[in-house]
Amino acid sequence: MRKTGIVILSLMLVLSLAALTGSQAAADNPAIASISTEQIFQAHPAIQWVQAELQEKQSEMMQELEEADEEEAMMLQQQMQAELQTLQQELLDEAFEEIEKDVGIVAAELGYDVVIDPQGIVYGADVLDLEDITEEVLEFLEEE
């Protein structure tokens, strides 16, 4: 899930930041920076909030399962698993939006049109002279 999230976030960042660049000059020669999406994920309050929310919901569900009889518990377990997966996806979608917004703010402040995670590039990352703005994004998160 973590790798999938990183790839999804990288694609979302590239597409949304590219869409924000309105001038032809920026489209012809965009300023590109890089981030370590994994580091941003680990530090971002939205992801920490998602983890806390999911743990709380899981604890509530476990309590409910403990109080149910054996037959009811089996039915509840499947229902709760599906509910937890849906909740997880909804919360992660919200978190990705927050992360994208925050990275976009920092990128715009630093004059970058596109931000990518070099781990998402299959070939050629070494020929791109990318400025890594991970630290700047982490500093921004600490200021919030």
Q: Can you say how many angstroms the Cα of residue 140 is from the centroid of all Cα atoms in its chain?
A: 16
> What is the C-alpha separation between 41 and 117, in angstroms, rounded?
12
Domains parsed from the chain with CATH numbers: 2-143 (3.30.910.20)
* pLDDT tens, the chain, 144 aa long: 555 555 555 545 554 544 554 444 445 778 999 999 999 999 999 999 999 999 999 999 999 888 888 888 888 888 999 999 999 999 999 999 999 999 999 999 999 999 999 888 888 887 888 899 999 999 999 988
Give residue 17's pLDDT.
Answer: 47
Give every strand in the sheet of 114-116, ordered side by side. 114-116, 32-34, 131-132
Give residue 24's pLDDT.
Answer: 45
The token duo for 51 is: 């983890």
Give residue 15's pLDDT.
Answer: 47
Give residue 11's pLDDT.
Answer: 47
Helix (H) or strand (E) holding 44: none
The closest alpha carbon to 7, from 106, 107, 95, 116, belongs to: 116
Give residue 98's pLDDT.
Answer: 95
Contact 24, 112 (CB under 8 A): no
Contact 47, 41 (CB under 8 A): yes
Helix (H) or strand (E) holding 127: none
